[in-house]
Chains A and B, each alone.
Chain A
Amino acid sequence: MKKLSNPFNKKINITTKDVATIGMMVAIIEVSKFALSFMPNIELTTFWIIMFTLYFGRKAGLAIPAFILVEGAIYGMNTWWIMYLYIWPLLVIITWIFRKTESILFWSILSGIFGLCFGFLCSFVYFFIGFSTGGIRGGFATAFPWWISGIPWDFIHCVGNFTFMMVLYTPIRSVMKRFAYN
């Protein structure tokens, strides 16, 4: 199988198998997201991104731009899309840092914290929207109330993320371990 060298990082070589796998990762995330879209802030995207990063390593990071592009193509590129540009890569980075940790409780807590902070992280975009017209004061005046008003939904996000990881981590991890990815 011919390997294409990545000009930005010699250590990551993308094979055609990787391209197909990235497609599968995006498909799994999208299908899960669509299936749960009737419940606000209950999502499997966090779970899958963590699991894919644990299993595929940095290559999972390549699925994120594809996922964000597909999201933009399906739902249109609005402010939430700008948030996606940094939120999901951030999750990959955090997971990558703790990749050697094998603990269902640890990953459940991390998922919960991520869900809880989701609104806070999203509010950065509103800070810059407010900043563009009202400076730092305008930025806070726009971002802060937006974040505060969404806190009950962040709690739901936290509980959803924590529960999904607690329930799904062990079965999915054992399946992933059975099929070593080369």
Chain B
Amino acid sequence: MEKKNTKKIVIGAVILVALIAVFALCYNKFAAKSTVGAKAITIEVVDSKGDSTKYEMNTDAEYLKDAMDELADADSSFSYNGTESDYGIMVEEVNGEQAIFTEDNAYWALYVNGEYGQYGADQQPVVNEDTYTWTYEKAE
């Protein structure tokens, strides 16, 4: 009886170890791997002196604000700040430069591929190979 049990235990242990190995191999080979980011985009900042800084990044973000958050986390030279309103975020500071309309008579304008943006940062969809430019603009 004892001998029979030992045989069963050994067979069981071998099966268990074999299954663990096979499952681990299958998982490593076939599990869906996360990609670095499917969309390659450029975020550009043009400051009050007209100097441009370009940031190229890969992202899966749906909206520009999420991509900017990712960029700010990954690259310490990029930062932004703003106030939330009913219409979404109002960007008031980019890379440490403030542009509040009521205080500075200037604002941060968003351009998408050179065209004036139609949406705020949290509503602007992120599309592969697009360039999003934050430009410091003086009010006329």
Contacts and interface: CB of A to CB of B under 8 A. Distances in A.
Contact of B15 (A98, A113, A148): A113
Interface string A55-77: 00000000000000000000000
26 contacts: A101-B5, A102-B5, A103-B5, A103-B9, A105-B9, A106-B8, A106-B12, A109-B16, A112-B16, A113-B12, A113-B15, A116-B19, A116-B23, A144-B30, A145-B30, A148-B30, A149-B31, A149-B32, A151-B23, A151-B24, A151-B27, A151-B31, A152-B27, A154-B23, A158-B16, A158-B20
Contacts of B4: 101
B2 to A, nearest CB: 9
Interface residues of B, number: 17
A144 B30 CA distance: 9
Contact of A117 (B9, B12, B19, B27): B19
A113 B31 contact: no
Contacts of B30: 144-145, 148
Nearest to B27: A151
- Chain A interface size, under 10 / 10 to 19 / 20 to 34 / 35 or more: 20 to 34
B13 interface: yes
Contacts of B8: 98, 101, 103, 106
B26 interface: yes
Interface string A71-102: 00000000000000000000000000010011
A51 interface: no
A21 B37 CA distance: 57
Contact of B26 (A101, A102, A103, A148): A148
A116 B32 contact: no
A109 B13 contact: yes
Nearest to B5: A103
Interface string A117-129: 1000000000000
A107 B13 CA distance: 11
